[in-house]
Structure 1
Amino acid sequence: MFGSRHTTPATTGNSPSPSGPAAAGNGYGNHDGNGVGAVTTTPGQDAVKRQVHTRLLETLDLVQARRMPREQLQAECSRRVDQLLGEQKTPLSAPEKAKLLREVLDEIFGLGPIEELLRDPRVTDILVNGPYLIYVERGGRLEETELRFRDDEHMIQVIQRIAARVGRRIDESSPMLDARLADGSRVNAIIPPLSLDGPSMSIRRFGTIPFDISRLIGVGALTEEMSMFLEACVRCRMNILISGGTGSGKTTLLNVLSRWIPAGERVVTIEDAAELQLQRKHVVRLETRPPNIEGKGEVTQRDLLRNSLRMRPDRIIIGEVRGAEALDMLQAMNTGHDGSMTTVHANSTRDAVRRIENMVSMAGLNFPVQAIRQQMAAAINLMVQVARLTGGRRKLLSISEVTGMEGDTFCMQEIFRFRQTGIDGEGNATGHFEACGIRPQCLERILAEGIRLPPDMFRHRVLETARR
């Protein structure tokens, strides 16, 4: 799939022309192997590197090269680079040669120019808007990189390689791809004719070291008091719904909450694309399957949820509810699977309630709205709202307890909240966490389980000024 001689031609779009020296030639920017720093070269040296890079890929049998041990291939590439450099008038330094070799190996074994971004543990998102514009998110901030693909065809070859690794295809007849890399990163790609300006790709990465609650507190996402309350709710088997926008930290929080599930309980997880990293032994992980090219063989979250009820789970964790499976989730929470958890895309807890109502309606059973709300009020105990604020920092905006129904109204009371007060000089949202002064109804249940919380935990006050 890579290189020139062994490539199946791919249909490409009409991406805008590259600009600047980093956009030309071999498709790589001027970074070191970790995506940081740079190896300084002159325009003449850049031209030499591009020529050597292109000729090296042309002379290699890429199919055979991928079967060779990496060390053997590196030695062979080094020998050929020396030979090709001998034909050039502008020599390369040792660091430049090492960088060139690394780029070639990334082309053969990895994902070309974005491989070095996958090696950078600080990168959480890689956003590729065509071959000549690659953004990354580091520390909550988006920044443009100097990395480039050679052209549309080069980028589509990389996307096709990702698809082949997971037994899928992407082409004109099937121009969208959802896949997962070996490290668990989630990939979405779309190519022409659906993507009008050329191929596009988004990669959501997950840290190799899972977040724990101390890290969340350390980065100012919540306070110690909020953490203690959430832990008590998980241990007391309360059903929890986490809502938030894209990239707000819903899955991260779900992973953290799952650490408080007692070790002896059996957990079944259900996801469209596996992202959860539960740090426990007694867990069964289930993942949906898309239809094949004939449109057959699809397995949905609803199918998996219904099957999971026959697997004797103590708790069920759904990565994200998106459709009719919301009805089955509520029924499971109401029928002996206390302590279950899930997430939903919504900008507020009230929006989350409306979204769940709409999803249940998708089941086609024509429930009246009041009946849906009654089932939700009986099934969900706690709602947690998370958000990515201005500047990229993520916060728990609200922890609310579901208190039941009053007439047709779904009732909640806010226990903790984050109050934004402004924007600092660096463009980051500032504010503080508050205890709302409400004693939760679930406190009796918590105390009955032998869990002790500080007596003034819920007293109305500012808990912490969020400086981070």
Structure 2
Amino acid sequence: MNEHPLWLVEDPGAATVAWPAVPRNRAVSPVPGFPEPTADDLDDVTFRTAVDEISARVAEALEAVATREEAVQVIRTETTAWARERLTGGIVISPRTHARLVRAVEDERYGLGALEPLIADPAVQNIDINGCRETWITYADGSKVRGPAVAGSDEELVQRIRMWGIHGGQTSREFSTATPLLNAALKERVRLAAVMAVTPRPHVSIRCHRHVDVTLADLVGLGTLDPGLAAFLAAAVRARKDILVAGSVNAGKTTLLRALAAEIDPDERIATLESEYELYLDQLPHRHRDVVAIESRQANSEGHGEITLDAAIKHSLRLNPVRIIVGEVRADEAWSMLQAMNSGQEGSLCTIHANSAEEVFPRLLMLCRSGGLALSSEDIHGMVGMAVDFVVHMRRDARTNRRYVSEVLEVLPPADTPMPARNHVYRPGGPDGRAVPATSPQCIDELVAAGFDPALLWRAS
């Protein structure tokens, strides 16, 4: 019996190669006919170099294949040939590393390269890259660990970012010294932000959207809100109330927006408008069967072809939506959104950055004026009071990374002051500041008609 067990790596179309079994990170005695093996894993830099070499070798052959399955067979064959060549230098590539190389080359061709396994991990929330060899991974529980190198040099990293920005999403995004800031939504349901030229090294941040097909009931299970508040918000959507979801960066605003949208009748025509796709409601036909998804577009290198979010909102109204959903209001499109909410698209939704529910009103004032809108503060506040029905504020606990609703304001037209009148339906309560009932909204009858049980608010009295 052979004292050196062999692993067999089958490669269709090629001879079977027998690799000596090498315990991980430990050398063994030479096997007759084979050179002395090294540890079975390549370090990050060597692994990336190997991926680049194999990718270059298969590039021409892959142009002729018709399917991804055929491409994988080509990659396996070439990886086996590459590994056999390493034998002459005394390097034995284990089956584990062989499989990793095949997958990595496939990911380079069809995905995001070294990032693909991270994006496929449901526990990964954010990936931050500082130059080619420094990667940080943040998980859903808030833990942060060092990740693998994603490129052999900063120049290579820039090329990869450029490729992702051009081919990953629906609308091409330029990334160059002339346009050093990139924001893009990629087909893997991730959002990418990158910067170069104005920083010493290129930087990339990737947000992984894990809760795309999500409901209010799901968020109750995650601890984002309690069943009573979930019932309240569901009734508000069914009663066609216009809702702004506010919160800081990474507070869970988009996830809550998707859950609110899940309460909309599947046959209602919805227009979603975003700077970069993040909602993906058009990819959930079991929840939304009639969706117009619009993404803004930057100008080309000649300065032509730009489609702003403001222009997209205005044009969307000609496409007969029953509701409009704006992924995030960041600039002068705020006024067009308010006008749409106040002129027939009742029950519309959007998100906005704000550190509290009360901060939404000066924030909207500033955004409306950012485009040179020649209206007084009183006029803008008056429009907000007529257009918006509720502000729902989200918070993130930095210690636990948990997201939750902290307060809900009912918004009413201005009364005694130029600002819109506010009714604190839910206030922060308890040590963690989660939303608890405080009073009944003026529109309670409409919510009851939409199925809300007012007894869920009685403990506020």
Query: Taking structure 1 as the reference length, what is the TM-score of the superposition?
Result: 0.81
Shift of 1:433: 4.4
CA contact (8 A) 2:135 2:148 kept: yes
- Taking the aligned partners of 2:47 and 2:455, their CA distance within structure 1 comes to 71
Question: Out of 150, 156, 159, which is 2:158 matched to?
Answer: 156
1:210–1:412: structure 2 CA closer, same or farther, 3 Å change rule? same
Shift of 1:103: 3.0
User: 1:106 aligns to what?
Assistant: 107
User: 1:220 aligns to what?
Assistant: 223
- Taking the aligned partners of 2:446 and 2:78, their CA distance within structure 1 comes to 66
> One-letter code of the match for 1:403?
L
1:56–1:343: structure 2 CA closer, same or farther, 3 Å change rule? closer
1:321–1:85: structure 2 CA closer, same or farther, 3 Å change rule? same
Shift of 1:108: 4.1
RMSD: 2.5
- Taking the aligned partners of 1:128 and 1:49, their CA distance within structure 2 comes to 15
User: 1:88 aligns to what?
Assistant: 89
User: 1:427 aligns to what?
Assistant: none
- Taking the aligned partners of 1:439 and 1:281, their CA distance within structure 2 comes to 34
Shift of 1:232: 0.8
User: 1:229 aligns to what?
Assistant: 232
Give structure 1 stretches of 5+ with no counterpart: 1-38, 422-429, 462-468
Shift of 1:209: 5.3
User: 1:41 aligns to what?
Assistant: 25
Match of 1:269, SS state, is strand
**Runs of 4+ that moved beyond 6 A:** none
1:454–1:174: structure 2 CA closer, same or farther, 3 Å change rule? closer
1:63–1:452: structure 2 CA closer, same or farther, 3 Å change rule? closer
- Taking the aligned partners of 1:418 and 1:65, their CA distance within structure 2 comes to 61
User: 1:318 aligns to what?
Assistant: 326
> One-letter code of the match for 1:178?
N
1:56–1:86: structure 2 CA closer, same or farther, 3 Å change rule? farther
Shift of 1:51: 5.4
Shift of 1:265: 2.3
Q: Deviations over 1:146-192 (max 9, x none)?
A: 3013221231221122133154432223222222222231111112x
1:232–1:51: structure 2 CA closer, same or farther, 3 Å change rule? closer
User: 1:355 aligns to what?
Assistant: 363
1:133 aligns with 2:137: no
> One-letter code of the match for 1:190?
V
Match of 1:145, SS state, is strand
- Taking the aligned partners of 1:52 and 1:201, their CA distance within structure 2 comes to 21
Question: Out of 150, 172, 178, which is 1:173 matched to?
Answer: 178
User: 1:460 aligns to what?
Assistant: 460
CA contact (8 A) 2:244 2:390 kept: yes
Shift of 1:226: 0.1
CA contact (8 A) 2:173 2:298 kept: no
1:141–1:48: structure 2 CA closer, same or farther, 3 Å change rule? closer
> One-letter code of the match for 2:329?
V
> One-letter code of the match for 1:228?
A
Question: Out of 412, 415, 435, which is 1:403 matched to?
Answer: 412
- Taking the aligned partners of 2:43 and 2:390, their CA distance within structure 1 comes to 61
User: 2:382 aligns to what?
Assistant: 374
- Taking the aligned partners of 1:235 and 1:144, their CA distance within structure 2 comes to 42
- Taking the aligned partners of 1:408 and 1:50, their CA distance within structure 2 comes to 62
Aligned residue pair count: 411
CA contact (8 A) 1:346 1:355 kept: yes
Question: Out of 424, 429, 436, which is 1:419 matched to?
Answer: 429
- Taking the aligned partners of 1:51 and 1:453, their CA distance within structure 2 comes to 63
User: 1:195 aligns to what?
Assistant: 199
Query: Taking structure 2 as the reference length, what is the TM-score of the superposition?
Result: 0.82
CA contact (8 A) 1:123 1:205 kept: yes
- Taking the aligned partners of 1:47 and 1:456, their CA distance within structure 2 comes to 59
1:326–1:431: structure 2 CA closer, same or farther, 3 Å change rule? closer
CA contact (8 A) 1:400 1:412 kept: yes
Match of 2:103, SS state, is helix
Match of 2:183, SS state, is strand
1:109–1:306: structure 2 CA closer, same or farther, 3 Å change rule? closer
User: 1:64 aligns to what?
Assistant: 60
Give structure 2 stretches of 5+ with no counterpart: 1-22, 28-37, 282-286
Structure with larger RCO (C-alpha < 8 A, sep 6+): 1
**Which one is further off, 228-237 or 265-274?**
265-274
CA contact (8 A) 1:243 1:385 kept: yes
1:283 aligns with 2:263: no
**Which one is further off, 323-332 or 85-94?**
85-94
- Taking the aligned partners of 1:124 and 1:304, their CA distance within structure 2 comes to 30
- Taking the aligned partners of 1:224 and 1:179, their CA distance within structure 2 comes to 35
Shift of 1:90: 4.3
Shift of 1:233: 0.6
1:206–1:80: structure 2 CA closer, same or farther, 3 Å change rule? same
Instruction: Flag the structure with larger Rg.
Output: 2
CA contact (8 A) 1:189 1:201 kept: yes
- Taking the aligned partners of 2:289 and 2:43, their CA distance within structure 1 comes to 53
**Which one is further off, 43-52 or 248-257?**
43-52
**Which one is further off, 55-64 or 286-295?**
55-64
CA contact (8 A) 1:127 1:203 kept: yes
> One-letter code of the match for 1:417?
R
CA contact (8 A) 2:217 2:230 kept: no
User: 1:259 aligns to what?
Assistant: 262
Identity of aligned residues (%): 29
> One-letter code of the match for 1:188?
A
**Which one is further off, 96-105 or 144-153?**
96-105
CA contact (8 A) 1:52 1:81 kept: no
1:236–1:56: structure 2 CA closer, same or farther, 3 Å change rule? closer
Match of 1:416, SS state, is strand
- Taking the aligned partners of 1:153 and 1:364, their CA distance within structure 2 comes to 40
